[in-house]
Chains A and B, each alone.
Chain A
Amino acid sequence: MSLFQRQRSALFLLGALSVITLFISGNTVWLDTSVVIAIYSLIALSVGISYGQAGILSVAQAAFASVGAYAAAIVTTRYDLPAVFGLVLALVVPPLIAYPLARLVTRLNALSLAIATLVFGQAVDIALREGGDFTGGYIGLSGIPPLSIASTLLQYHFLSWGAVFVVVILLSNLIDSPFGRATSTLRSDTLRAVADGVNVSHVRSVVLALSASVAGLGGWLYAHHIAYIGPDSLGPSVSLSVLLMAVVGGAQTVLGPIVGAALLTLLFKFIPSQEVQGMFYGGALIAVLVLSPNGLLGLRALFGKTSGTVVAKPQKSPSQVASSPVIAGGTQ
């Protein structure tokens, strides 16, 4: 695949961002919304990497983002170190947690794996609340300094979308690499991947670790943008929200999680009451799953177009085919 073909998603994103930036550069409200969308896009992209590319339904991505955000907050507020130290920790600590976790849970079947990550996310939430002075407990940590390289909202807009852009380029490269093809194979057919010599547990663990690193980057940006991080900031409900964003946009496409993050953040912005937010989120998730299981960008596949990314329909493994029912909720 040529460089142009491989990076079509990144080029499209760059074009769209250029146009949008022209319209919102003078409006602080929309710039702030844009930064929030970029941050959620990063965390949703981490879902896209783990669930969309490797089939690992992780419900702990916000926990990894939270670890990145707390790393940034603790380094800058407790030890007065430069923000770049926080960035290194935000990129490194979540995968260091995720890899051994993944080695434990990627042996499980898909359902148990999802539950295990859900339990892990809840445990991180409790640990942060009970962390005492180190994590700020239930109150959290405030006074996180702004980044010197992005002191205005417009600069932060460029920084955060720059991070999304880099992740999109790297993800597109990853998908087109032998490692990406191995990941795609094991998502579609684990037995085939094993037969091809893929170390399934290792590959899945690396993918979850990479996704945790991307989530940590999102957490780092979040902490320096909001200047505060608490247990509720990136709690378990955010894990569900970003999962929803990725699924709504299309978890198996590169741009899908970004589209989902933009749509749902804007939807949230215009919903008058927070109480009913869950109804819209939950309703949107069910509607998309029923109408377009591959997400909004996955709809393009229905019209016979390639998205420039990967919209691979999950294939049944030989074992599944062997035991496949004629229908289950089907029509035959």
Chain B
Amino acid sequence: MYELLEFGSRGILLGVTYGLLAFPISLLFIATDTVDLAVGGYAVLAGAVAMFVGESHGAALGITMGILVGVLASASVGCVSLMLGRRQKGDPLVLVLASFGFAIFLESCVLTLFGKDPFIRQSFANFWNVAGIRISPQAGVNVLVGLLLIALVYVLLYRTSWGRDVRASANNERGALLAGIPVRALQFSSFMLAGLLAGIAGVLVLYTSGMDFASGMHLTLAGFGAAIVFGLHGPLRGFFGGLAIGVVETISSGYANGGLASLVPLAFIFAVLTIGRVGRQGPAGVRA
């Protein structure tokens, strides 16, 4: 039982980072009606920069630089998105393909600049012992950061004019344009915010489980899985979806061998997609 609880607590620790990755995916889906598959790449880039700058100039500067680089990377995809003028082309998959391209580009950059060795940092040597369960203090940091970001995203989306404009343009883009809302600028700023959130998630992954240059697609998939569990249209729900994915992953890795355990989250995502109503389309191709 203690073992299960320990796996569960580790799952929450991991799930918080997945939940943080679900924020940008949901946010961009709301703002641009597409999925940015480079989100995991922003996180890996942020983590790698945080580690290497942190080693030479201190952790605080490393973390700051890592997050800033993540924002810059996502801003680049935002620029590509604007150049593509996706809706004018009539193909909603073009930006998905472009983000694929950017994910490959980022992975290659990280490999070239930082090498193949895993990136990991441990900030806490001692673990908390709560009722016999060993919990890393990093879990507390992750949960605290996650809750703070939930509050921040909630306030931004539901208590500011920016959030109201984003929701308006997501609901009715033409109406938003006619009302004078700068939809393109909003979409670009959503990319910037997504990069900020992915960068923070990347730094937390660096200090939690670590990563390597090729972790981007895994993190993207984990974030996407988290985002769809309770509905892709709700960024806040994605956080709790992340917790669910994290717990499923750690419990399955605790009780099954490593390779098969990594199939469990994938099967979970596949089942949610195919059985649930998340990605269904109506006969006319519109989302149900």
Contacts and interface: CB of A to CB of B under 8 A. Distances in A.
B3 to A, nearest CB: 23
A209 to B, nearest CB: 17
A316 B102 CA distance: 27
B285 A286 contact: no
5 contacts: A55-B93, A107-B281, A130-B260, A289-B94, A318-B284
B284 A115 contact: no
Interface string A8-22: 000000000000000
Interface stretch (A87-95, A119-127, A159-167, A168-176): A119-127
Contacts of B59: none
A331 B85 contact: yes
B108 A277 contact: yes
B95 to A, nearest CB: 8
Contacts of B178: 326
Contacts of A116: 270, 273-274, 279
Interface in A64-103: none
A108 B284 contact: no
Contact of A282 (B34, B105, B270, B273): B105
Q: List 3 A-B pairs, minimum CB-CB distance, nearest first.
A: A112-B279, A278-B108, A282-B105
A129 B263 CA distance: 11
Interface size class of B (residues with CB under 8 A): 35 or more
Interface stretch (B6-14, B76-84, B158-166, B234-242): B76-84
A247 interface: yes
A143 interface: no
A247 B97 contact: yes
A329 B97 contact: no
Given A123-B266, A282-B103, A317-B284, A330 B85 contact: yes
B86 A328 contact: yes
Nearest to B279: A112
B174 interface: yes
A327 B184 contact: yes
Given A329-B84, A329-B88, A119 B221 contact: yes
Given A275-B108, A286-B101, A290-B84, A126 B90 contact: no
Interface residues of A, number: 65
Contact of A110 (B93, B98, B217): B93
Contacts of A318: 284
A324 B285 contact: no
A282 B91 contact: no
Contact of A126 (B106, B187, B228, B259): B259
A200 B281 CA distance: 12
A283 B106 CA distance: 10
A159 to B, nearest CB: 31
Given A109-B285, A111-B96, A130-B260, A119 B87 contact: no
Contacts of B90: 313-316, 320
Contacts of A278: 104-105, 107-109, 111
Contacts of A119: 221, 266, 269-270, 273
A111 B267 contact: no
Interface in A115-159: 115-116, 118-120, 122-123, 126-127, 129-130
Interface in B184-220: 184, 187, 217
Given A286-B101, A329-B86, A276 B108 contact: yes
Given A320-B285, A325-B177, A326-B174, 19 more contacts: A57-B93, A57-B96, A108-B279, A109-B279, A110-B281, A113-B279, A114-B96, A119-B273, A126-B263, A129-B259, A130-B260, A276-B112, A278-B104, A278-B111, A285-B97, A326-B178, A327-B85, A327-B184, A329-B84
Q: Which of B82, B89, B100, B112 has the most CB of A within 10 A?
A: B100
A104 interface: yes
A180 interface: no
B87 A330 contact: yes
Nearest to A111: B35
B233 to A, nearest CB: 13
A112 B173 CA distance: 22
B216 to A, nearest CB: 11
A329 B191 CA distance: 13
Contact of B112 (A57, A126, A275, A284): A275
Contact of B98 (A115, A189, A194, A285): A285
Given A190-B284, A285-B98, A293 B91 contact: yes
Interface stretch (A34-42, A236-244, A254-262, A303-311): A236-244
B91 A329 contact: no
A109 B91 contact: no
Contact of B281 (A109, A293, A331): A109
B177 A115 contact: no
A129 B259 CA distance: 8
Contacts of A129: 259
Nearest to A282: B105
A241 to B, nearest CB: 9
Nearest to A190: B285
B184 A105 contact: no
Given A57-B93, A289-B94, A327-B87, A115 B35 contact: yes
A286 B284 contact: no
B92 interface: yes
A281 B285 CA distance: 31
A188 to B, nearest CB: 9
B91 to A, nearest CB: 5
Contacts of A285: 97-98, 100-101, 104
A3 interface: no
